[in-house]
Amino acid sequence: MPASMPPAGQPAELWQESLSDLITDPRELADFLQLDQRLDPAGEQALAQFPLKVPRAFAERMEKGNWRDPLLRQVWPSFTEEREAPGFTADPLRERHYNPRPGLLHKYRGRVLLIAAPHCAIHCRYCFRREFDYRENSPARAEWREAFDYIRGDASIEEVILSGGDPLALGDGQLRWLLESIAGIPHVTTVRIHTRLPVVIPERVSGELLAMLRGCRQRVAVVIHCNHAQEIDAPVAAALKSLHRAGVSLLNQSVLLQGVNDDAAALSALSKRLFSENVLPYYLHLPDRVAGTRHFAVTLEAAEAIMRELQACLPGYLVPRLVREDPGKPAKTRLI
Ligand code: SF4
């Protein structure tokens, strides 16, 4: 192979092995990181409601002996989740109101979102869909046709977003079928894939996946949902390079999380690291007020102060837009 050719991507079976070998026991994670669980016990109720799931490759990027590690904080099912917090609810975005067909959400003009997969490779404790009804939104192929008929019947829909769960947690056969079904709808010009897989299990960027994305009729954008520069190690960088060379537009959106990335230095380092891997930062979300996530909340005032610092130290194209999702609004609310 000439030196300029992109890497072929990893063999398919590697990522499936990683996906079936996740850390799901908090004791195992605490032991691996040499942490004393008595200092921040895992909450039994929190675990029952939203179990622990951490890929080993992601755990290896955490600092041993550090309860404040920014990657650990994103996944640790702390007992503090179980404290009541007024204003924090199961469905703060009222997504069930925008769910006209199983598996399909239509919130904004011109684009629809498909709940392509009911599961993820990692459980992020701040997730706004941690109580989403995936059983009601896991269509079989026959039911997916209803969603495709809905898209076909509305010529204003130009973009289909694959979300979840994590769409890249699907096997290649089902993913190919979804992409081919979307490719058959003439007015859809863009497919956007929201996924944590290239970051948490970079082997997911296999040769098969790259070939599939390269062969798409529509433009393809992949949004990688990375919150901290420490998440990007050499295998993640290689996966992103392969996606870029396959012609995929790479974007990032982060959530502003207390104790993870709520300072300008961390966000500036993240933007620079992303850009060095051909990824543009575009959104920084104020966290949604989801039950169990009070400990991640950042006030609007604090978020605006961080943004002013970021604007002072980064070129404009590396400053993500600070946004909040307000249910019922025609677009995300841009805050600064
Ligand atoms: S990968 Fe995305 S959908 Fe899955 S738990 Fe994390 S934030 Fe939620």
Q: How far is Cα 315 from Cα 254, in angstroms, rounded to an integer?
A: 18
> Is 6's pLDDT higher than 60?
no
Q: What angle do CA 324, 258, 120 make, to 5 degrees?
A: 70
Would you say the CB of residue 229 lies under 6 angstroms from ligand 1?
no
**What tokens were used for 205?**
């960027």
pLDDT in the model for residue 204: 97
How many folded domains does the chain comprise? 2
Co-location of 116 and 174 in the same domain: yes
pLDDT at 131: 79
**259 found inside a domain:** yes
242, 310: one domain: yes
pTM (2 d.p.): 0.93
Using pLDDT thresholds of 50, 70 and 90, give the confidence band for residue 7.
Answer: very low
The answer to whether residues 38 and 155 belong to one domain is no
Note whether residue 4 is domain-resident.
Answer: no
Res. 99 pLDDT band, cuts 50 70 90: confident
Q: Establish if 177 belongs to a structural domain.
A: yes
Least confident range of 1-5, 82-86, 118-122, 209-213? 1-5
Radius of gyration of the chain (CA): 19
Q: Are 28 and 263 in contact (CB under 8 A)?
A: no
Task: Based on the fold, state whether residues 180 and 235 are members of the same structural domain.
Answer: yes
Could you give the residue ranges of the DSSP H alpha helices within the chain? Answer: 12-19, 26-32, 44-49, 56-59, 70-75, 141-152, 172-183, 197-200, 207-214, 234-245, 264-276, 300-313
- pLDDT the model gives residue 121: 97
Pair of tokens at residue 246: 């396959």
Reference 227, options 25, 38, 69; nearest CA is 69
H-helix or E-strand spanning residue 13: helix 12-19
Residue nearest to atom 6 of ligand 1 (CA): 124
pLDDT at 4: 37
Residue that terminates a domain, selected from 56, 82, 108: 82
Pocket test for ligand 1, best of 75, 93, 129 (most atoms within 8 A of CB): 129
120 C-alpha to ligand 1 centroid (Å): 6
Angstrom distance (rounded) from CA 245 to CA 156? 30
Contact 288 CB / ligand 1 (< 6 Å): no
6 assigned to some structural domain: no
- Separation of CA 186 and ligand 1 centre (Å): 30
CA of 196 to the centre of ligand 1 (A): 7
Residue bearing tokens 């994305």 = 213
How many whole angstroms from 2 Cα to the centroid of ligand 1? 38
Which residue among 42, 58, 82 closes a domain? 82
Per-residue pLDDT tens digits for 272-330: 999 999 999 999 999 989 999 999 999 999 999 999 999 999 999 999 999 999 988 88
Q: How much of the chain exceeds pLDDT 70, in percent?
A: 97
What span, in angstroms and rounded, lies between the C-alpha atoms of 265 and 314?
11
Helix pair angle (300-313, 264-276), 10° resolution: 50
Ligand 1 close to Cβ of residue 123 (< 6 A) = yes
Q: Measured in angstroms, how far is the CA atom of residue 167 from the centroid of ligand 1?
A: 10
Q: List the Cα angle 37/39/43 in 5-degree steps.
A: 65
- Please write the tens of the pLDDT for every residue from 144-198: 999 999 999 999 999 999 998 999 999 999 999 999 999 999 999 999 999 999 9
Question: Is position 1 within any domain?
Answer: no
Cis peptide leading into 165, omega within 30 of 0?
yes
Q: How far apart are CA 178 and CA 151, in angstroms?
A: 13
Q: What CATH number is associated with residue 316?
A: 3.20.20.70
> Is a pLDDT exceeding 70 seen at residue 5?
no
Higher pLDDT residue, 94 or 122? 122
Shortest-distance atom of ligand 1 to CA 194 = 2
Q: Are residues 67 and 116 located together in one domain of the fold?
A: no
pLDDT in the model for residue 63: 98
The pair of structure tokens assigned to 76 is 């640790």
Query: For residues 207 and 227, what is the distance between their CA atoms, to the nearest angstrom?
Result: 26
Mean pLDDT on 187-210 = 98
| Domain shared by 76 and 149, yes or no | no
CA-to-CA distance for 233 and 60, rounded, in angstroms? 10
Residue 272: inside a domain, yes or no?
yes
Does residue 3 form part of some domain? no
Over range 228-242, report the average pLDDT: 98
Residue 100 and residue 78 share a domain: no
pLDDT category of residue 9 using cuts at 50, 70 and 90: low
Residue 314 and residue 171 share a domain: yes
Q: What is the pLDDT of residue 8?
A: 54
User: Distance, CA 127 to ligand 1 centroid (Å)?
Assistant: 5
Residue 73 falls inside a structural domain: yes
Query: What atom of ligand 1 comes closest to residue 128's alpha carbon?
Result: 8
Place 2 in a pLDDT band, splitting at 50, 70 and 90.
very low
Q: How many CB atoms lie within 10 A of CB 152?
A: 16
Answer whether 115 contacts ligand 1 (Cβ < 6 A).
no
255 Cα nearest atom in ligand 1: 7
- Among 272, 263, 260, 286, which Cα is nearest to 232's? 272
Are 99 and 131 within one domain?
A: yes
Cβ–ligand 1 contact at 127 (below 6 Å): yes
Which structural domain range is residue 316 located in?
95-334
* Cα–ligand 1 centroid distance for 123 (angstroms): 6
Say if residue 68 is in the same domain as residue 101.
no
* 25, 52, 82 - which closes a domain: 82
Query: How much is the pLDDT for 1?
Result: 36
Nearest to 188 by CA among 131, 133, 148, 245: 148
Q: Does 30 share its domain with 116?
A: no
- Per-residue tokens: 326: 């307000």
Average pLDDT, the chain: 93
Q: Are residues 68 and 118 in the same domain?
A: no
- Out of 1-15, 86-100, 195-209, 260-274, which region has the weakest mean confidence (pLDDT)? 1-15
Greatest distance between any 2 Cα atoms in the chain: 60
Task: Give me the percent of the chain exceeding a pLDDT of 90.
Answer: 81
